[in-house]
Structure 1
Amino acid sequence: MNNLTKFDKYYLEIKRNRWYWYFSIFCRLTLALGFVLAGMVKIMDERFASGLSEIHPMGTYLTALYHTGYYYTFIGIAQVLAAILLLIPRTVTLGALLYLPIIVNICILSFAVRFEGSAISAPLMLFANLYILVWNYDKLKYILPFKMVPDFGILKQPEKYSNRFPFLFFTSVVVVFGLVIIMFFVGREILPRNSLSQCKRQYAKTELEDAGNVFCECVHVNGKPLDECLAEFEKAKKAND
């Protein structure tokens, strides 16, 4: 215990704090709920986000995924399994490890096709998953590539929690939440949105309305790949200049 790093000492401190513990439970419950809902759709052999047009960039992907047969069902089973493991105290760490590659994939996919349906929720779920992994650092440390493993072992639930409210931590949570939302609105010049009318509203009554309409029709009417539609949008913008 004498060779603990600053992180180890801080970790031991937060593990004794009631508010960090409450937040870990909140993350577990919300993550589990998200994957149970999404996973059951796949297990029941229904197309996820069925209201999305099949020529939408995300709609095209989901339609193709839906037609992969038992692979589609397998993804749903993996999501529900990860959710169940998160809910069981003894298997939380295993659940978070299973959850991580799935939510990273969803997050990157959402950004790649500019899908607003999960462009905010997916990054927040990823951060929540990472928090759970850090919360269970006392178990994960044995598989991490450290030269020296802290000797405080696997921690038991403290007999008495500290009630000191971690203002700095929860301020950081609010800031991260806000930054994710801000990046969604300002991080992309134009989004496909979920329908033609929603897409066209982005630049309605502005100098880029014509360029925006070209992009939206390219996605929702012509069904071209997103990269081609973005290229057409840039050409239309230059034509307006």
Structure 2
Amino acid sequence: MNVNLKLDNWHAKAKANRWLRYFTVFNRLALAAGFLPAGIVKIMGERFASGLSVNHPMGHYLEALHLTGYYYPFIGVVQILAAILLLVPRTATLGAIIYFPVILNICVLSFAVRFDGSLLTSPLMVLANMYLLCWDYDKLKYIFLYKKTIPQSQLHVQPVLNNKFPVAFFAGVALCIAVLVLVITHVFDIMPHNNLADCELQCGNNRYPDACHVFCNDIHKRGKSLGESLNEYHKAIKSTTLHK
């Protein structure tokens, strides 16, 4: 059996499972719910995450983005368009395609500036979006893989709904989420957090509390960039180490 036929059979089995169909609908609804409010805020011209300080690394970005004129509401239009397309079964594939580059950009941005607000949700949304793209593999395969159509008779799956709960799949989903949470909570040595109080709260558990306070002041009081603040943080650590 060639690779294309194997993929078609795996995909047909997945699409014939009632629980995976429910999971697909859930992902579409969840992703749409994530973009609709954010898109409306942008179209109305309001600054996203208005409670976030401008001095925060994400605050720098959002403030500049808010001042880009019609580009800012344009992003909102794209978000709402992707969300609406996801909610309509006939256009859900197009919605997933439009959604993916937007959420991937948000995910990379969240990690780049260490933004608490979307540090966990954005990678989960990326994974959910990737699942939806895989769900529509039968439509997208002609673009990325091949154009030869495999006859239905060659597929080893009957087009009948299967009610068996896919334990292994959902166990994998749970494991993926757990690993993601574990990585996110341990990948960064220090976080700017959303305000000065939250930032300094972590200093009590930091091996170098003085360096931590320097970092928080650089971010939230002096308005320095994340890169500059991290450099000062590591310099303060070296200075503390040398004087011990």
The two structures, once aligned, show a CA RMSD in angstroms of 1.9
- What amino acid maps onto 2:63 in structure 1? T
Matched, 1:104 2:110: no
Return 5+ residue gaps in structure 2 as ranges: none
Q: 2:198 is matched with which residue?
A: 198
TM-score by length of 1: 0.93
Q: 1:140 is matched with which residue?
A: 140
Q: Judging changes above 3 Å, is the alpha-carbon distance between structure 1 residues 87 and 185 closer, same or farther for their aligned structure 2 residues?
A: same
- Can you list the C-alpha shifts for 1:117-139, whole angstroms capped at 9, x where unaligned? 10100000000000001001111
The answer as to whether partners of 2:8 and 2:138 remain within 8 angstroms in 1 is: no
* SS of aligned partner of 2:116: coil
- Runs (4+) of structure 1 exceeding 6 A deviation are none
Q: Judging changes above 3 Å, is the alpha-carbon distance between structure 1 residues 6 and 95 closer, same or farther for their aligned structure 2 residues?
A: same
CA shift for structure 1 position 145: 3.9
Q: In 2, distance between residues paired with 1:148 and 1:194?
A: 52
Q: What percentage of aligned pairs have identical amino acids?
A: 51
- Name the one with the larger helix percent: 2
Q: 1:122 is matched with which residue?
A: 122
TM-score by length of 2: 0.92
Q: 2:84 is matched with which residue?
A: 84
- What amino acid maps onto 1:101 in structure 2? P
Q: Judging changes above 3 Å, is the alpha-carbon distance between structure 1 residues 221 and 9 closer, same or farther for their aligned structure 2 residues?
A: same
Matched, 1:239 2:235: no
- Can you list the C-alpha shifts for 1:70-120, whole angstroms capped at 9, x where unaligned? 100000000000000000000000000000100010000000001111010
Q: 1:48 is matched with which residue?
A: 48
Q: 1:58 is matched with which residue?
A: 58
CA shift for structure 1 position 2: 8.6
The answer as to whether partners of 1:3 and 1:150 remain within 8 angstroms in 2 is: no
The answer as to whether partners of 2:192 and 2:219 remain within 8 angstroms in 1 is: yes
- What amino acid maps onto 2:109 in structure 1? L
The answer as to whether partners of 2:40 and 2:80 remain within 8 angstroms in 1 is: yes
Q: In 2, distance between residues paired with 1:136 and 1:3?
A: 17
CA shift for structure 1 position 194: 0.1
Give the paired residue count. Answer: 237
Return 5+ residue gaps in structure 1 as ranges: none
Q: In 1, distance between residues paired with 2:149 and 2:103?
A: 28
